[in-house]
Amino acid sequence: MADLSTRFAGRIRCPNPFWLASGPPANCADQVMRAFDAGWGGAVWKTIGEPILNVSSRYSSVDWNGGRMMGLNNIELISDRPIETNLREIEEVKKRYPNHAVIASLMVESKREAWHDIVKRSEDAGADGLELNFGCPHGMSERGMGSAVGQVPDYTTMITEWVKEVARTPVLVKLTPNITDIRTIGRAARKGGADGLSAINTLNSVTGIDLDTLTPRPDVGGLSAHGGYCGPAIKPVALHMVQQLASDPEIALPVSGIGGVSGWREAAEYILLGCQSVQVCTAAMHHGFRIVEQMIEGLSHWMDEKGFYTLDQVRGRSLPRLTEWKHLDLNYKIVARIHPERCIGCQLCYIACWDGAHQCIHLPSNGHAKPEAVEAASRAAIVSTPVSRAELQARMTGTPANRIPQVDEGECVGCNLCWLVCPVDGCITMERVDTGRPFESWEQRTGGAC
């Protein structure tokens, strides 16, 4: 099998790149040790600082298409346990699991002596590294900590410098996404001497409102507050920001990727964008620690299939493939093709194309029929009622030819919408057509002019 061992920032060793992120699953020694027994390679301890009195309730979520916790919102703050207790348990964990990474997440008031004290004590307890929590968007920011630091480059640089004055282990700065350009803070962390970055922390959010009580969720005695949003829903935002950090030559720091990792595929995506480790919180809260088993197995098998033997061979391979829009080929063209033998006649592609795209999909009975002509019962059955894969397969046989849409390839712009809405795998494919024209970017065509 592929070798999943990794060494973050050259010094933090662990058997695989899967770390518990700082949060409820890494709140105490019992949890972290059980996580290591399950197979996790490292853990970032729930943020240590002066104990906080948390509220009840704390979480709310956004469910989607029958799935729970597509996005999770929390208004929980840092550890509510004494600093001494957390440090004593870090020491215990490191004695029992010397080959696993234990990172101390830290947040204290913006005073040099306070940071010096917590850094020395954390390292004396055996922490392999330090993660400075400059990202928490709620509760702590109102006290001048968390994202209140991470949104101001000068503060980020200053506190990182304070930490580096006494730190003996690698220092990671955890970045907030609640900022216009995350690279400005990444550069500030680099200027302060950071050894690595963790990205991203949670997004400011209000997940919803109870339409009976009219109180936003989570409800704390009839009131609520904005919280931090995480889980699968934030992965696209996190991947973009990780790519921005990993591609910036002024930063050039290792990155621990966070945001929506719920399986090996997401982990592979983060590593392909340059991450040296990936951190997981929501998925562990949702499914338990043993989810790491399929992450390890899945990533190993994928690497074997691709011929990758180490994570170093995977890391960053997708970065050169992400560029600015102005560098894309204007003469590259794909079109949608519908495969009749797989079509179930739901005509979702037709509706989507006419109502939401470029009106290049037609019905054979009337080449330019309007979507209103599609039978309401058929549309409702497909759009409103979940359909099992077995039922879809059963519908593939005997679909009348006059229910199978057709694509006008001359009008198709290759937007992908029909392919995205089609409920049957392989029914619609997006295929390249030769335009007979050489590569030409917008920059080439216009000379870079607006």
Q: What CATH number has the domain bearing residue 372? A: 3.30.70.20
Same structural domain for residues 306 and 389? no
Q: Which of 321, 351, 379 is the last residue of a domain?
A: 321
| Three-class DSSP category at 256 | strand
Residues 6+ apart with CB under 8 A from 313: none
Alpha helices of 167-210 — where are they, by DSSP H?
182-191
pLDDT of residue 148: 75
Same structural domain for residues 408 and 264? no
Same structural domain for residues 305 and 356? no
Query: d(Cα 174, Cα 201) in Å, to the nearest integer?
Result: 7
Same structural domain for residues 421 and 279? no
Q: Is 393 among the domain residues?
A: yes
Instruction: Tell me which residue has tokens 């350009």.
Output: 181
Same structural domain for residues 265 and 161? yes
- Condensed to tens digits (0 to 9), the pLDDT of residues 60-114 reads 999 998 899 999 999 998 999 999 999 999 999 999 999 999 999 999 999 999 9
Same structural domain for residues 291 and 398? no
Going residue by residue through the chain, which has 450 residues, state the pLDDT in tens, using 9 for 90 and above.
799 999 999 999 999 999 999 999 999 999 999 999 999 999 999 999 998 888 999 999 999 988 999 999 999 989 999 999 999 999 999 999 999 999 999 999 999 999 999 999 999 999 999 999 997 766 566 666 667 788 899 999 999 999 999 999 999 999 999 999 999 999 999 999 999 999 999 999 999 999 999 999 999 999 999 999 999 999 999 999 999 999 999 999 999 999 999 999 999 999 999 999 999 999 999 999 999 999 999 999 999 999 999 999 999 999 999 999 999 999 999 999 999 999 999 999 999 999 999 999 999 865 444 455 444 434 444 444 455 555 555 555 556 778 899 999 999 999 999 999 999 999 999 999 999 999 999 999 998 765
Query: d(Cα 125, Cα 103) in Å, to the nearest integer?
Result: 11
Query: d(Cα 106, Cα 125) in Å, to the nearest integer?
Result: 13
Query: d(Cα 297, Cα 39) in Å, to the nearest integer?
Result: 11
Instruction: Tell me which residue has tokens 């079509």.
Output: 343
How many C-beta neighbours within 10 Å does residue 248 have?
16
Same structural domain for residues 294 and 267? yes
Alpha helices of 57-170 — where are they, by DSSP H?
83-96, 112-124, 147-150, 153-166
Query: d(Cα 54, Cα 265) in Å, to the nearest integer?
Result: 34
Q: Is 443 among the domain residues?
A: no
Q: Is 130 among the domain residues?
A: yes
Q: How far apart are the first and last CA of the chain?
A: 51
Sheet-wide strand order for 203-205: 59-64, 67-74, 227-230, 203-205
Closest CA to 284 of 13, 78, 34: 34
Instruction: Tell me which residue has tokens 């009975």.
Output: 365
Same structural domain for residues 262 and 352? no
If one counts the domains in the chain, the total is 2
What does DSSP assign to residue 413?
-
pLDDT of residue 73: 94
| 450 is known as an active-site residue | no
| Three-class DSSP category at 250 | coil
Instruction: For residue 338, say if its preceding peptide bond is cis, omega within 30 degrees of 0.
Output: no
> Per DSSP, what are the bridge partners of residue 8?
12
**Which candidate in 14, 28, 136, 360 is catalytic?**
136
For residues 317 and 272, the answer to whether their CB atoms sit within 8 Å is: yes
Tokens read off for 4: 């999943």
Residues 6+ apart with CB under 8 A from 297: 264
Q: Is 49 among the domain residues?
A: yes
Using only C-alpha atoms, the chain has a radius of gyration, in whole angstroms, of 25
Query: d(Cα 106, Cα 120) in Å, to the nearest integer?
Result: 12
> Per DSSP, what are the bridge partners of residue 203?
229
What does DSSP assign to residue 71?
E
Same structural domain for residues 181 and 272? yes
Same structural domain for residues 330 and 266? no
What is the distance, to the nearest Å, from the Cα of residue 255 to the centroid of all Cα atoms in its chain?
13
Query: d(Cα 197, Cα 107) in Å, to the nearest integer?
Result: 15
pTM of the prediction?
Answer: 0.90
Q: Is 441 among the domain residues?
A: no
Q: Is 445 among the domain residues?
A: no
Q: Is 131 among the domain residues?
A: yes
Q: Is 21 among the domain residues?
A: yes
Tokens read off for 436: 């007979």
Query: d(Cα 3, Cα 179) in Å, to the nearest integer?
Result: 36
Q: Which of 258, 287, 321 is the last residue of a domain?
A: 321
Alpha helices of 167-279 — where are they, by DSSP H?
182-191, 235-247, 264-272
Same structural domain for residues 268 and 346? no
Domain residues for the domain of 307 are: 6-321
Q: What CATH number has the domain bearing residue 317? A: 3.20.20.70
Same structural domain for residues 283 and 345? no
